[in-house]
Amino acid sequence: MKYRSTRGAITKTRIAAEAVVQGLAEDGGLYVPVDFPKPDLKLDQLAGITLQQASTMVLSWLMDDLPAAQRQESIAQAYGRQWDDPRITPLTDQVGGNYYLELFHGPTLAFKDVALQLLPQLMTKSAQEIGLDRQIVILTATSGDTGGASMDGFSDVAGTCVVVFYPHHGVSPVQLHQMRSVPGKNLTPVAIDGNFDDAQRNVKQLFNDQQLGAELATHQLQFSSANSMNIGRLIPQIAYYFYAYGQLLARHRIASGDEVNFTVPTGNFGDILAGFYAEKLGLPIHRLICASDQNNVLTDFFRTGKYDRQRQFFVTNSPSMDILVSSNLERLLLDAAGGNAQRVADLMAQLQRDGHYQVNAEEQAFLDRYFAAGFAGEQVVKEEIHRVYAEDQYLLDPHTAVASAVVRHYQQESGDQTPMVIVSTASPFKFPETVYQSLTGQEVDQPGLPAIHQLQELLGVDLPQGVAALFDRDDRPQRVTAPAQMGETLRDILHLN
């Protein structure tokens, strides 16, 4: 398997190990497979496969330069007892006619764990494979969940350290506590006075800062990324789309070859892109429905073909989706543009310069073939949490509620009866304030950990293992910096000065 940059020549390729260790391409683009393999996939053999088996399959297709034994060892380590469900990513039975694919049973209670329990294994083994003799600095921007999940995944992993930048007032109390309390000597979270887009933009700049790169090299250090800009984040996510299909087959909810839909609560477009890649690898997906919150730049994009980031930014009750520049859309654009990287580079330059771009009719037709889109505002989210709990006794977190609300609207409007899997991205206990408020109409007495107890009492259930663990850990002191100072802060943390 060879990888290329979305903005670079098709002849300039890297093996997967190099792409994963490097994170971002030098030209600012993102790594994508040069050609997707066309695996000889017998769909009926997916019936009843485990997530681990689905991962084995996907890694054999997309990371074939790592020896099979190393891939296997990585998967075994990633999907073990740190999950509070032996199925790792269980699919519910029908709830209101649809299925929820629960991706939140890992240590930080959000879907990022699926990829970030595996990525550190893949990255350190890849580094060995290519003979890297430097320490890897994982530089991460987070809207909340990637921070905690990457810190947990890389905690005390030899040869790595993690620096996470998060918006000071843009993450939930539980997310904040997770980031500040994950144990590990190699982890540093930093708050910035700005939003996620500021964090992400500056992290990208630091990545491409040649002077800084040279300073790192003299200290035997090298950057990599645990954001979904790293192809090593997307590859593990492809597996659960196959797993979900296999579960539906095993339960005779579908027959081999039947199409299914997936609705994905979307921010940086990583999760849903993994679904698109699953389709390219042969999974019969009819439609991928891109669900956004009030920051509905993607809804407008899919409906009109115009991407316009010049709009008001909202801090909502689904903070991990509060994003105006969805990085991974760039990867989809390369497909929409028939592999023309110059076209992608032009559109990205235009986005940077003018704040918007417009795809052409052919590109739009390509997008329409695979995607639909919708959004839900904060009030709708609360109503959806309330409704689904009242009708089906099934509890949604606000991100999943965005998707769930979008699905209802989509199904009513389109009449599309294809079996629907709603990708469920966080535990309701991770956002107890909104969930409690949605159920009772009352505010919690105190946000954060006390709110978890209050929600638990309301529901009369035991806390899942990962939620209970939150109460045993103390916070580090908080470090805050201005966006413009991120470089200096980083130099300080890494002792470059």
Ligand X SMILES: *Cc1c(COP(=O)(O)O)cnc(C)c1O
Q: Which residues lie near ligand X (CB under 6 A)?
A: 110-112, 145, 228, 265-271, 320-321, 399, 425-426
Structure tokens at 118: 């595996």
Q: By C-beta, is 171 or 283 nearer to ligand X?
A: 171
As a whole number of angstroms, the distance between CA 5 and CA 53 comes to: 29
Q: By C-beta, is 192 or 422 nearer to ligand X?
A: 422
Q: Which residue has the tokens 């008001």?
A: 312
Structure tokens at 94: 């029908």
Query: Taking the complex as a whole, how short is the minimal distance between the CB of residue 29 and ligand X, in angstroms?
Result: 18
Query: Taking the complex as a whole, how short is the minimal distance between the CB of residue 477 and ligand X, in angstroms?
Result: 25
As a whole number of angstroms, the distance between CA 476 and CA 183 comes to: 10
Q: By C-beta, is 124 or 140 nearer to ligand X?
A: 140
- Which residues sit opposite 100 in a β-bridge? 422
Query: Taking the complex as a whole, how short is the minimal distance between the CB of residue 147 and ligand X, in angstroms?
Result: 10
Q: By C-beta, is 74 or 175 nearer to ligand X?
A: 175
Query: Taking the complex as a whole, how short is the minimal distance between the CB of residue 172 and ligand X, in angstroms?
Result: 10
Q: By C-beta, is 200 or 364 nearer to ligand X?
A: 200
Can you state the angle between helices 68-78 and 51-62, rounded to 10 degrees? 140
Query: Taking the complex as a whole, how short is the minimal distance between the CB of residue 47 and ligand X, in angstroms?
Result: 28
Query: Taking the complex as a whole, how short is the minimal distance between the CB of residue 129 and ligand X, in angstroms?
Result: 27
Q: Which residue has the tokens 């992400």?
A: 200
Q: Tell me if 78 sits within 8 A of 438, measured CB to CB.
A: no
Query: Taking the complex as a whole, how short is the minimal distance between the CB of residue 10 and ligand X, in angstroms?
Result: 26
Closest CA to 201 of 147, 148, 139, 144: 139
How many angstroms from the chain centroid is the CA of residue 430?
Answer: 16
Q: How far is CA 188 from CA 151, 449, 475, 484, in A?
A: 8, 22, 12, 18
As a whole number of angstroms, the distance between CA 82 and CA 84 comes to: 7
Q: Tell me if 351 sits within 8 A of 357, measured CB to CB.
A: yes
Q: Tell me if 189 sits within 8 A of 480, measured CB to CB.
A: no
Q: By C-beta, is 110 or 212 nearer to ligand X?
A: 110
Query: Taking the complex as a whole, how short is the minimal distance between the CB of residue 131 and ligand X, in angstroms?
Result: 32
Q: By C-beta, is 145 or 384 nearer to ligand X?
A: 145
| Strands of the sheet with 2-5, listed across from one edge | 14-15, 2-5, 31-33
Q: By C-beta, is 202 or 266 nearer to ligand X?
A: 266
